[in-house]
Amino acid sequence: MKLILIYITVAIFAISSCIDSPENNNAAINNEGNLENNNLFDNQKTYKLEGPKTIRIYGEVKEETTISLEDLTLRSVVVKEVLPENGERSFKGTFRYDGYSLEDILVNIELEKESGFNPLTDLYIKVHSNDGIYAVLSWAEIFFPVHHHLQLIATGISRHVPYKTPEVKYPLPEKSKLVISNDLITCRNISEPVGIEICSFKADFPERQMEELFWPTLTIKGFTGDSIILEKLPSSLPDRESDMIFYGRGRGIHDVRPFNGCYLSELLNLYYQPSCESIRTRLVIASSPDAYRSVFSLSEIINRNDRLETLIIDEDNYERAGQFSLIVSGDFFSDRAMKALWKLELYK
């Protein structure tokens, strides 16, 4: 009788161990990986991430709709995942994620903006998860960038295992996931996304009539308890250069020379140290006295891993655009570039 009980106990323990293992919770799509080619990200097993096969699109759209993910092109990104823990960065592993890009999901959605502002530069989205949290992205992150399809609803995953330390295997997630591959700290990679809410930024932007578009100061608001007013960029900031082709959707080519200024991320870091939640949920609104405005996710300004930094300029501005102006190096188009920048405001 005792022997039977021992066998039963061992069997229960073995079953429990299998259930707790991510490899057993995730159904393998590819059991071995491909060792025969030069791709460094497909030589491990690929596992399925469980989650909805559709996603709801709603908000400022002509008609709420549900998109079938499996009708879209399957794409891949690679990510080194890092999250803050106890004030330090904690590495969570390197993975290839397979899934469906936000650009493909949203490309045919008909918009019905409520802000009354015609350009698309004030649009953003909230990706909502099954457990009630959300992550924000600007519309321009998805549709204006130099590099496309960087944000996926991931439904498959494969590890990258270093060949010198094959025994080191970081845990796999089990649920589908929003993955933003050009984020440095991966706070926006939320589990089991179920809906995308399309929004425009609605606030009062009074339009000033001016003979020349120029404003002498910059007000930075919402990053500290008090507003900060600058007449020049702080001398402590290092000089930076953005060597880019300045091209707009409307007029086409504007300029081909390098731009010199400071990184906006380094300016904001003087006044604000973000939490993981603020990286995930906060917006930065840039505006000028002619009522033009551009929406950015806080993350795309201060949390990039691709070094495509937004530049803030306070002298030798393009097209007499001073005193302050913005150049958005991560955008293919210049639509979010700001002349006569007079306010930078942090919002949730």
What is the per-residue pLDDT across 171-220, written as a single tens digit (0 to 9) for each?
999 999 999 999 999 999 999 999 999 999 999 898 888 888 889 999 99
The residue ranking higher by pLDDT, 14 or 71, is: 71
**Mind listing the pLDDT tens digit for each residue in 232-259?**
999 999 999 888 887 778 777 887 788 8
Calculate the CA 272 to chain-centre distance. 19
Distance in angstroms (rounded) separating the CA atoms of residues 31 and 310: 42
What's the pLDDT band for 3 if we cut at 50, 70, 90? very low
**Lowest-confidence region among 91-100, 246-255, 283-292, 320-329:** 246-255
Calculate the CA 124 to chain-centre distance. 11
**Mind listing the pLDDT tens digit for each residue in 108-145?**
999 999 999 999 999 999 999 999 999 999 999 999 99
| pLDDT of 18 | 38
Residue with tokens 């001398």: 235
- State how beta strands 54-59 and 193-200 pair: parallel
**Mind listing the pLDDT tens digit for each residue in 163-175?**
888 888 899 999 9
Instruction: Please compute the mean of the pLDDT values over residues 53-58 and round it to a whole number.
Output: 98
Q: Is the pLDDT of residue 33 over 80?
A: no
Is it true that the peptide bond before 44 is cis, omega within 30 degrees of 0? no
Cα angle at 30 between 28 and 36, to 5 degrees? 150
pTM of the model: 0.89
* Domains in the chain, CATH or no CATH each: 23-200 (3.90.420.10), 218-347 (3.90.420.10)
Residue 58, number of CB atoms within 10 A of its CB: 15
The residue ranking higher by pLDDT, 206 or 72, is: 72
